Amino acid sequence: MTERSGTPEADYHSSRWPGWIWSVPIAAIGIAIWLGIRSFASTGPEVTVVFPQVANIKAGDTMVKFQNLVVGQVEAVKLEKDLRHIRVKLNLHADMAGHLGKGTRFWISGGKPSLSNLSSIRSIISGPSIGIQPAPGRAHSTYQGLAEKPVLSFGEEGTSYVLHTDKLGSVQRGTPIYYLGQEVGTVRDTHMVKGQSFDITAFIDKPYNEFVHAGTRFWSAGAVSLETGGTGPSLQFQSIPSLIEGAIDFATPQGAAQGPVSKSGDGFTLYSGKNAALYARGPDTVLYRLRFPSSSGSLAAHAAVTFQGTRIGSVVRSTLLYNPSTGDAGIDAVIGIDPSRITLAAKDKWTNPRAQMDAMLNRLLSQGMRATLVSSPPVIGSDTVALRLAHDTPATLGSGTIPEIPTTAGGGVSGIMAKANDIVNKINQMPLPRIASNLDETASHVAALTSSPALGETLDNAARTTQHLDHMTHDMEYRIPAMLTQLRLALDKTTDALTSTQRLLASGSSSLSSPEAAGLPRTLYEVQRAARSLRALTDFLDRHPAALISGRGARN
């Protein structure tokens, strides 16, 4: 059997590329290489920071934040040998490369939650974080961390001022600063000066720093204050968090707002309250001295000075003064009156505050004005100075560099108590035992007089005389009408006789020419007058019969 001719034989050729099954491990290797390159490219610098406090920092959990944006993570935490510091290794993002030069600052944020920064309260649950304030330059291996956030943060614009105060109160780092009720800054630092006072670093954000001038007044607004005014007392406070964290407020008087804006580092006084700040002594304030007896009350610095119910100044200082020679104690105070609080009429201006204020007060003193202590609010409030028209004798200002204003007893509770004490002292000075003895002696004489027999006999005689007068008056009441009737009859007859005589004279009878009848007309005239008088007497007795006993002057 022969093989078929013309059939080709198969040729075997090997490929240069592996089979498709090898594409899987090759792809895995490529992905691994790509991830490695990406991880290497995204890895940022590693730095070490030493913090001066032990905080709840955890490796792999605590984040590094720049303006609340995560830029790294804590890789390791180690406690130092002194047990007061911790060494923290940070793994930062590559974006931070070139921003870790000299001046870069790290701090622990959220270690102390604050009501003034509500976002910090979340650290109670999530734990603290590490803040960073970058600076351009090459990275250093080790940095010294801060216990708190620095005064100026990265990118912040504003101005720092220094506030001086004797008492820090509730002011602390993070205390908000307000202007017209809006938060415009914060307290960045507090520092004790020689154990006697405090310096507070206050940072005001831009553009609100343009409202701070040389005459701007700062005051502590964290505490609750009782303010008095025309509508009555009112309770005021800045906000609920400020009761714990404290608060600072500021305002600029109208005149001071025209001056230049204050520069960074300028110093201001931090007053205890709003009234103390707004009515503090200014460049035009005029000073006067007051002296009160110790029984009038007490007077504190920054207390109000009012005139006609309007506040015009404050107490600059107040001390207790004792005179060893007389043993008297009292209050020696200096007050400051602000001319800008008093508007002059006729468009006049305060060109010479001292001379103009002295002239005004001298005129008011001549009208009876005096300085007195009053309580505001009444009874429960502290003492303040009031200039009032007391209707006293005229007075003038005292001489000296600081003229003295005459004073009078206070009108409040202290003044009433002082007057009551004066009354009690005057009563104690009265000779009460001698007065009581004289009264006892007088009473004895009166008792002896009333029991005397002569007095009883005199009273009996007076009673009998009165009875006789009553009987006479009773008899006259019956006799007078009969007498008056007889008088009227006699008067009528006399009138008739006069009439007949007048007729006889008119007839011209010859008997009338005799010498005996020459005086008859004169006689008739006298008889007519007597009749007229008799008629007047009868009429008077008819109206006033008692005149026969008591006389003519007893009639009503």
Q: Are 57 and 130 in contact (CB under 8 A)?
A: yes
Residue 96: what pLDDT? 87
Share of the chain above pLDDT 70, in %: 66
Lowest mean pLDDT among 59-63, 103-107, 548-552: 548-552
What confidence category does residue 1 fall into, taking pLDDT thresholds of 50, 70 and 90?
A: very low
* Side-by-side strand order, sheet with 369-376: 286-293, 328-337, 310-323, 304-307, 382-389, 369-376
pLDDT beyond 70 at 236: no
- Residue 162 CA to residue 212 CA, distance in Å, equals 12
pLDDT per position as a tens digit, 275-300: 888 888 888 899 999 998 866 667 88
pLDDT per position as a tens digit, 68-91: 889 999 999 999 888 889 999 999
What confidence category does residue 173 fall into, taking pLDDT thresholds of 50, 70 and 90?
A: confident
Strand partners, 227: 234
pLDDT per position as a tens digit, 399-416: 889 999 998 876 555 555
Question: What is the residue-wise DSSP string for 487-503?
Answer: HHHHHHHHHHHHHHHHH
- Residue 354 CA to residue 545 CA, distance in Å, equals 85
- Structure-token pair, residue 46: 């590693």
| Structural domain boundaries in the chain | 41-144, 158-278, 286-425, 459-504+519-554
Question: What is the residue-wise DSSP string for 396-458?
Answer: -PPPSSSPBPPB---SSHHHHHHHHHHHHHHHHHS-HHHHHHHHHHHHHHHHHHHT-HHHHHH
Question: Which of 474, 472, 484 has the alpha carbon at shortest distance from 543?
Answer: 484
Strand partners, 261: 213
Q: Is the pTM of this model over 0.75?
A: no
pLDDT beyond 80 at 267: yes
